Amino acid sequence: MLCWLLFACNNKVVEDRLVPLPTENAEKISQQIHFMGTLIEQYPDKAEYYFRRAKFYLAANKELLAATDINKAVELDSTKANYFFLKASILDLQGDYKKGLLAAQKAEKLGVQEIRLQKLLGKMLVLNQKMPQALPYLEKAQKIFPKDSQIYYYQGLIHSANKDTLRAVDNFGKALQIEPRYEAVFIALTDLFVQLNMPKKALEYAQNGIHRIPKSALLYYKSAKIYLRESKKIQAQDYLQRTLRADSTFWQASFELYRIYSQQKDLKTAARYLEKALREKPDITNGFLQLAWIYETQYKDFGAALKAYQKAQKSDPKNTHIDLAIERINKRIAEEAYKQTDEYREMLKQKWLRQKDSLKRVIADSIPSLPRKK
């Protein structure tokens, strides 16, 4: 706290020097963030203060705040390599690999002294589908971090893309030796052997992954897709259900179950899964159109059908078939509403009375007349 007290007592700071900062071991991260915020209020044009607060935010898992600060630091001073490296690291965590690659390349160009740069650049290049450029960076990174499973994983992806199956499997295997529960590796191996048209081997890796990671919704789903390709629908249904038990928001599994039950003509069950899929992903192509048709033809729920048709119309406003369907449904709704009126009930009553009188006449005409007594 000494530096904080000194700062509070004397606000005069030499412009080209930075106020002494609390060490990470001496203060909690929240206190460090607070301290940096005070400095920034006093000196809003000091890029280094934003950079340091961004690091503290990142340590506190506050990525959005960290991103805001590092962007401000770069805006104030675009000559610092370590600023761009931190920016690339934050973009990596946010999944923005295109901008992340640009930031990492800028850090490299500015000569950043950061041993993690090789791995970060290699990863970013792979995720931007620039495989040939990525491999040298990852090979250098492997020498620096020989026990880093992620480096072997990304090398495996490169060899897989290059159709070098032996090297791909070797690198994936090394990644699993280091991290036996590495879900992405099992997914990559499964995909690799699906592409090689070796479903049994692909299923073997998926099942091994499930054994080690029993809550992996994606591995259950991958297994289901393999069973579907092999026309084993019972097993596929089972694994799709397991997918949803592992992750109830996995819309692809719900949609596959909808398709299976539709093929089995169990449209009411199909509708339930289609509804579930659309809750998670409302923009499924023709999803609401298909749901509307089921509501209309199977449930006779014209109100629900109308809502589904209207949602379909929003996503496909030029589809004239939807316009006709909405017109048809509105007529059916009007008809059903009319059936609830006194006028309709009176009309039915009069119709019934006419039919009754008509029936009496028919019966009377069909009975032969008895001879008159003399």
pLDDT tens, residue by residue, 213-259: 999 999 999 999 999 999 999 999 999 999 999 999 999 999 999 99
d(CA 238, CA 235): 5
Cα end-to-end span (Å), the chain: 135
pLDDT tens, residue by residue, 127-163: 999 999 999 999 999 999 999 999 999 999 999 999 9
Greater confidence (223 vs 370) lies with 223
Q: Domain 14-114 carries which CATH code?
A: 1.25.40.10
Query: Among 68-72, 142-146, 255-259, 340-344, where is mean pLDDT lowest?
Result: 340-344
Please say whether the beta carbons of 279 and 311 come within 8 A.
Answer: no
Boundaries of CATH 1.25.40.10 in the chain?
14-114
- Does position 341 have pLDDT exceeding 60, yes or no? yes
Cα–Cα distance list, 176 to 137, 182, 183, 201 (Å): 21, 6, 9, 17
Give 17's pLDDT tier (boundaries 50, 70, 90). low
- Does position 371 have pLDDT exceeding 90, yes or no? no
pLDDT of residue 28: 83
Give 368's pLDDT tier (boundaries 50, 70, 90). low
Give 342's pLDDT tier (boundaries 50, 70, 90). confident
Give 322's pLDDT tier (boundaries 50, 70, 90). very high
pLDDT of residue 358: 83
Mean pLDDT of the chain: 90
Q: What percent of the chain has pLDDT over 70?
A: 91
Greater confidence (67 vs 24) lies with 67
How far is residue 100 CA from its own chain's centroid? 20
pLDDT of residue 21: 59
Average pLDDT over residues 164-170: 97
Average pLDDT over residues 198-227: 97
- Does position 10 have pLDDT exceeding 50, yes or no? no
Buried b vs exposed e over 205-226: b needs ≥16 C-beta within 10 Å? bbbbbbeebeebbbbbbbbbbb
